[in-house]
Structure 1
Amino acid sequence: MSIRKVTICLAVILFISATVLAFTSNKRAEKKAEKEYTPTVQTVTMTAVGDCTLATDINADPNGSFKSVAESLNGDYSYFFKNVSPIFSEDDLTIVNFEGTLSNQGTRQDKQFAFRGKPEYVQILTSSSVEAANLANNHSADYGDVSLSDTIKYLNEAGISNFIGTNTAIRDVNGISVGLVGIDALDETEAAKLENVIGSVKSLGAQLVIVSIHWGEEKATAPNDTQTELAHKAIDAGADLVLGTHPHVLQGIEKYNGKYIAYSLGNFCFGGNNNPADKDTVIYRQTFTFVDGVMQEDDNMTLIPATISGHDEYNDYQPAIAEGDRKTQIENKLIEYSTPLGLSTLNFR
């Protein structure tokens, strides 16, 4: 064989060897990269409860009132959520519907019930791991605009996220941006802002959007058509969870397009009445899971039956976890209310 042919053969062999070596090295690098890649998993466990009215109407009987109990505590405001604070402490975000004001200012508005609590009552929330408060309701300015401004001020100073109408909140929870929206749908003008407000928090980068809506009819145990329409509209606009308040009693749970709607969480720490006839309530809990920033459809929702008082005969303003027959009664009630909405089974703790 001529030297020229030998040279060509050697060149071909070297080319093939280099190609095979490069291909093998690339495959090894790809496999190594696959082994080294670990998806980022983040979770947000949130808890929500109903109406928290930390005050007594000045026209109410002072005997056994919220105010009389609060003043007897010598500043130990952890009393009110003592039975449920362990539940609040084990989550990442606890949301209450704050129905009333915290202020020393303002004039009582001309209405049947108006609530103004002392600014230091904010410690009821801070001492019990409450991180967020919805202010979008019909009692947020019971003593005029200054009482609402004061409430926002004291909540902000305490580090409690608060939200009402276009004043939304974005809170970082375990590296996830949580958008909090509150709408008082009893006011048609405010209700009309629902979709735009949800859009605004999403434009600010919210990865999880929780919407609280004040709506419905007092004492009604089933949502009306307006509630259903607004709830579906909220989810279609990007809400991941809808929480309802105002009826002062429990209403059912619906699942719409993979998202939950709790139409009414009822009362919770409720200073508006020293002996409500219906003391049943529920603590709503849901864990949202994100993989590489994308929300997963893991459907991790739990309901914890509770009562607004530790006593059936009167309101001690100290919500408690329901047990035994009372727990079963509340579970059955929620199933009864939820079945017409498409959920005949619910997950209880």
Structure 2
Amino acid sequence: MQKKKNLYKKSRYYRQRQKKIRQVCVAAGSILLLVVVILIIRGCSGGKARTASSSDVKTTADSDSQTAKSNVSDSESANTASADSDDQSDTSTKDSSDTASDSETDNAKLNHSAPVTLTVSVVGDCTLGTDENFDYDTSLNAYFESYGKEYFFQNVKSIFEADDLTIANNEGTFTDSYDREDKTFAFKAPASFAGIYSCSSVEAVNTANNHSHDYGEQSFQDTMDALDAEGIVHFGYDETAVMDVKGVKVGLVGIYELYDHLEREQQLKDNIAKVKEDGAELIIVIFHWGNEKETVPDSNQTTLGHLAIDLGADLVCGHHPHVLQGIEEYKGKNIVYSLGNFCFGGNSYPSDMDSIIFQQTFTITNDGVKADNVTNIIPCSISSAYDYNNYQPTPAEGDEKTRIMEKIQERSSWIG
């Protein structure tokens, strides 16, 4: 009888222990399932596209190369612009294996279950270097050595961090080459200067301009490598880019117009067609064009700007005149003819230090880009100092802010 009682106790203990084991297993399984769900949700979430991700489409058209020759700088006359000779053959060789198929493109335009708002900031000429003939002690390069890479955009960084995509014009080279082109002004800096962009929330730069080959073909490739090392998307000439920003595919096209003007029409057509093929839902075209110091766009600018909109661009911005030009609304889209200088190492004492950050907030739905045209112009000075250029662009305030806004409004009224 005592043995049976012992067996019964052991059996009851055994059942209780088995029950506890099952309860522990169920609890552990529930926790594991919760962790998996959290990881899936985090993987699907998005934010500001600091750089192109592995799913970004970044392509280069293998069309005819463009030879662009120009010796234009902030100190040269407008008449020099059309006659300069700065060898700039298109060296884009980056063919992406991630090119979207037609079906992927269709899906991309149909997966916005809710409208997506996307704010883009665009700024003008950023010459993050110096000419070897300049006084080094007052050069941008000397400021980099003294204050570090964070110094230059520290007064506008919060603006760039708050938007979804920031685009600048990289006018110069990041190279150690000494093979200087025979031209009046040539700009370069070490590769580490590309970090000025990455530490300041600038995600993409145009490279199609008259200073991109200042130290020859090698300097152009060195610049591309330096930008790649910092995760900065680059585009220009026949290289196009498509970035994924908050789930929207943004196509970027950069055209250098100065040397052969309207002969760039075919390149413009080809490049816009290319980003469309790669799934772009929002298209931004950047031009390096116009005449130095001219406050009114010439006929080449207006013709190409209008053509870009006709071909499907949602925003057109330009630079090179080193001064502000007006803004035209064409078919409900904006053409910002000249953004002026921004972080400009080309002159310690420029005659005009006015600049702007042009912002536009787009709304994208399954039907495309809405025609709401929400813009924000932020007047700036290229310097935080009053009487010289310390290479630190700063938002204007008070009377200065009002003066620059009135300048933009006046020059916009002159167009057309």
Q: Shorter-chain TM-score: what band?
A: 0.7 to 0.9
TM-score of the superposition, structure 1-length normalised? 0.85
Secondary structure class of the residue paired with 1:220: coil
Matched letter for residue 173 of structure 1: V
Report the Cα offset of residue 333 of structure 1.
Answer: 0.3
The aligned residue for residue 215 of structure 1 is 289
TM-score of the superposition, structure 2-length normalised? 0.71
Matched letter for residue 160 of structure 2: F
CA distance in 2: counterparts of 1:191 and 1:306, whole angstroms: 32
In the superposition, relative to structure 1, how do residues 147 and 240 fare at CA in structure 2: closer, same or farther (>3 Å)?
same
Report the Cα offset of residue 191 of structure 1.
Answer: 5.1
Q: Does residue 54 of the first structure (1) align with residue 114 of the second (2)?
A: no
Which of residues 325, 329, 336 is equivalent to 1:262? Answer: 336
Measured against aligned partners, the alpha-carbon deviations of 1:300-345 in whole angstroms (never above 9, x if no partner) come to 1110000000112111100000001111110110000001237xxx
Measured against aligned partners, the alpha-carbon deviations of 1:179-221 in whole angstroms (never above 9, x if no partner) come to 0000000132545411111111111110011000011100001
Measured against aligned partners, the alpha-carbon deviations of 1:33-73 in whole angstroms (never above 9, x if no partner) come to xxxxx942112110010000011100112231112111212
Q: Is the 8 A contact 2:296 2:415 kept in 1?
A: no
* 1:132-281 superposed matches below 5 A: 132-188=204-260, 190=264, 192-281=266-355
Report the Cα offset of residue 106 of structure 1.
Answer: 5.0
Secondary structure class of the residue paired with 1:272: coil
* 1:1-349 superposed matches below 5 A: 39-73=113-147, 76-188=148-260, 190=264, 192-292=266-366, 294-341=368-415
Q: Is the 8 A contact 2:139 2:348 kept in 1?
A: yes
Matched letter for residue 253 of structure 1: I
- Find runs of 4+ consecutive structure 1 residues off by over 2 angstroms: 189-192
CA distance in 2: counterparts of 1:89 and 1:109, whole angstroms: 36
CA distance in 2: counterparts of 1:85 and 1:298, whole angstroms: 27
Return 5+ residue gaps in structure 2 as ranges.
Answer: 1-111
CA RMSD after TM alignment: 1.3
Tell me how many residue pairs correspond in the alignment. Answer: 303
Secondary structure class of the residue paired with 2:334: strand
Q: Is the 8 A contact 1:102 1:119 kept in 2?
A: yes
Secondary structure class of the residue paired with 1:186: coil
> Identity of aligned pairs, percent?
50
Matched letter for residue 299 of structure 1: N
Report the Cα offset of residue 293 of structure 1.
Answer: 5.5
The aligned residue for residue 79 of structure 2 is none
CA distance in 2: counterparts of 1:110 and 1:292, whole angstroms: 51
Matched letter for residue 216 of structure 1: G
Q: Is the 8 A contact 2:297 2:415 kept in 1?
A: no
